[in-house]
Structure 1
Amino acid sequence: MLEVAGLTKRFGGFTAVDAVSFSVAPGEILGLLGPNGSGKSTTFNCIAGMLRPSAGSIRLAGQEIGGLPAEECCRRGIGRTFQIPRPFRTLSLLENAVLAAHYGAGGRIDAAEAERRARDALRLAQLPDDPNATTQGLGAAGLKKLELARALATQPKLLLADESLGGLDAGEMRQAAQMLKRIRDERGITIVWVEHIMGVLLSVVDRVVVLDHGAVIFRGTPAEAQEDTKVAEVYLGPPESRAA
């Protein structure tokens, strides 16, 4: 579904992403892990068309998309959430999702089809599709669900979930993780999940890619990641500092 090869992004003399390569099979959930500043969001932004890569290739279902603008990437089947939800506060939940549906995959659609897609996305995200339901009173978990619903309304082949656990308590984290797994299982949507919180994510994903300072330091299963020395150092610090 997705093949990233030699992806590099420079900002002036600073290399934020350094020759990153990984692939994602159709229907897989891949965890893209790393501490803050490791290059996860920059990698996401290049895949989603928010940033133009400095070098490398990004292929979606065999077609090169590296350097295409975000709206074209969306139309080709990439949906994404953002770490900080920014819904349209003057619109209802349904209107937020309808607006996303109009900009999604498959070209122009009429109002009835946009509403159908929006209602379906809200139900998947366990939010009301009542036209009168608003964003007022939504807590962190509700806003994350709306962010997910808007992404799902675009009819993605590939969903990029950006730090879906941030700001949630332990119970909400487990619910969010299981929701992503259910969406993959029920709809067959391929998911790349960027996160810096390892625990809950590792119980859901099929494979893990770990970044540090813009480079890949690990690829493998969740179980292998938990036993890997480099991964432990990235998250816990070198052995001598842990002993202290």
Structure 2
Amino acid sequence: MLTVEGLVKRFGGFTAVNNVSFRVEQGEILGLIGPNGSGKSTIFNMLSGTLIPTAGSILFNGAEIAGHAPHRIINGGIGRTFQIPRPFHRLSIFENVALAGYYGQGRHSRARADEAAERALAMVGLPTDRHASVDGLGAAGLKKLELAKALATGPKLLLADESLGGLDEHEMDQAADMLRKIRDELGITIIWVEHIMGVLMRVVDRVMVLDHGEKISEGLPSAVASDPRVIEVYLGTDADSSQAAAAEARRKAGV
């Protein structure tokens, strides 16, 4: 579904992403991890059109999208959530999601946007009541709203940016299960940026690790969690729990 080759992004003399290549297969959940400042958000911003790559190719379903405007990319089937939710507080929950559907799908049909909003809200477990206020949502509800807005755009590929941030342990498990449900029931491919390794390793099919803008490891969760370089630059004391989570995922999958 997605083929990235030689992706580079420079800001003046600073190279944020340096010659990164990877592929994402249809129906896969790819975990994208690494320390703060490793280039994860920069890659998301290039995939979604917020930033124009300095060099490299991004093929989505065989078509080059590198440098395309965000509205063209989202209309083509790449949706995203944001790490920090910023809903329109003067709009209801339903109106926030319908607005995303109206512009994101590029159809400019209010009826279709409303239908997409109802489906998306039902999928994430938020009320479809058209007057429910955003102000009543806690951290978990706002993360669900981010997912609903992205789903309403009708994505084939979802870029999920730190869906677990600010959640307690139970809410984290719910959010992770939601991403798996979105893949399994809607057939949406997912790239998931996350720092909570114990949860991510139980859900993803593969993991890619960045450090200082370069890819340093890629593979099955169990292999990446045991990679000495990944442990050194990122996992550290979380290595044991990450390895245990990866092993548990393999056991459940019968691998």
State the TM bucket, normalised to the shorter chain.
Answer: over 0.9
Equivalent residue letter for 1:141 = A
In structure 2, the residue corresponding to 1:147 is in which secondary structure? Answer: helix
Q: Secondary structure at the match of 1:7?
A: strand
Measure, in 1, the Cα distance between the counterparts of 2:72 and 2:48.
9
Match of 1:169 in 2: 168
Counterparts of residues 146-157 of structure 1 (less than 5 Å): 146-157=145-156
> Which residue number corresponds to residue 227 of structure 1?
226
Deviation (angstroms), 1:165 = 0.9
- Distance (whole Å) between structure 2 residues aligned to residue 66 and residue 196 of structure 1: 27
* Residue 236 of structure 1, CA deviation: 4.3
Q: Which has the higher contact order (CA 8 A, sep 6+)?
A: 1
Q: Structure 1, residues 123-152: CA drift from partner, whole Å, max 9, x if none?
A: 111101101111112111100100110000
SS in 2 for 1:3: strand
Question: Residues 77 and 158 of structure 1 are in contact (CA less than 8 Å); yes or no, is this contact kept in structure 2?
Answer: yes
Q: Which residue of 1 aligns with 2:182?
A: 183
Aligned partner of 2:198 in structure 1 is: 199
SS at structure 2 position matched to 1:136: helix
Aligned length: 237
Partner of 1:12: 12
C-alpha distance in 1 between matches for 2:196 and 2:56: 28
Percent identity over the alignment? 64
Q: Distance in 1 between matches of 2:235 and 2:180?
A: 27
TM-score in terms of structure 1 length: 0.95
**Residue 197 of structure 1, CA deviation:** 2.2
State the 4+ residue runs in structure 1 displaced beyond 4 angstroms: none
- How many angstroms does 1:196 deviate by? 2.2
Query: Which position in structure 2 is the counterpart of 1:43?
Result: 43
Q: Indicate whether 1:72 and 2:72 are aligned.
A: yes
Aligned residue for 2:253? none
State the distance in 2 between where 1:136 and 1:165 align.
20
Output the aligned Cα RMSD: 1.1
> 1:64-103 maps to which residues of 2 (within 5 A)?
64-103=64-103
Deviations 1:176-214 (A, max 9, x none): 011000010001000000112211001000000000000
Which segments of 5 or more consecutive residues in structure 2 lack a partner in the other structure?
A: 238-255
Residue in structure 2 matched with residue 242 of structure 1 by the alignment: none
Give me the whole-angstrom Cα distance separating, in 1, the residues matched to 2:204 and 2:129.
32
Does the CA-based 8 Å contact 1:100-1:154 persist in structure 2? yes
User: In 1, Cα distance between the equivalents of 2:107 and 2:174?
Assistant: 34
